[in-house]
Amino acid sequence: MQESDVATGTKERGVKPMLARWRARRRSALAFMLLGGIVTLVTACTPTGSYPIDFFYEMHYQPSQRRLEPKRIPPPEGSVPITGGTPSYTWDQVTNMTSPVPRNAQTLARGETLFTVNCAMCHGAKADGQSFIATRFNAAHFYPPVDLHSQRVQSRTDGQLYWIVTNGLGNMPTFRNLLTDDDRWAMVNYIRNLQGQ
């Protein structure tokens, strides 16, 4: 050993071996993070089931049948269950639709409740487009929530109002998955009642 190596200790505990160990640790940490990312990606992209990853085949997933039971036929592709599923209408299809929900005290009360919970914060408690959210939209130079008493809204048919509540328009969100079909029609009835129609 040279005298300078003994004084600094670079031969055995030098900078180069420390750098080599540091790089090896860094590579192993990166490999571990990459492996963790791959596992996370694989578990997030599996088809929906009881568990994110099925490590073991489970018998209750198979389309089995009992002895003497008639053969089970799978439903046709694109079929909708009879207890759910709302058809999607185009703007032209809804133009001549009328509300299947009768306009009576009970449905108007339901429509008022739904309007207060879902719409009043933007369209205002009186449905005149005056609300805190409307002022924020104006300040941000977005289209503000519409005045439901305006001529433009009054000239729309019931079916068109139903379509707007269902699918949303502009900054208005869709209520397709939040409200039932009858609830959306009850809101249309309530809006018509507010307009004096």
**pLDDT over 60 at 3, yes or no:** no
Q: How confident is the model over 8-41, as pLDDT tens digits? A: 554 556 777 888 888 888 888 888 888 888 877 6
Are the C-beta atoms of residues 184 and 101 closer than 8 Å to each other? no
The upper half-sphere exposure of residue 182, i.e. CA atoms within 13 Å in the direction of its Cβ, equals: 8
Q: In which band, very low, low, confident or very high, does the pLDDT at 60 lie, cut at 50, 70 and 90?
A: low
**Percent of the chain whose predicted confidence (pLDDT) is above 70:** 79
- Hey, what's the torsion of the CAs at 47, 52, 55, 57, to 10 degrees? -50
Helices (H), 54-149: 91-94, 105-118, 120-123, 132-139
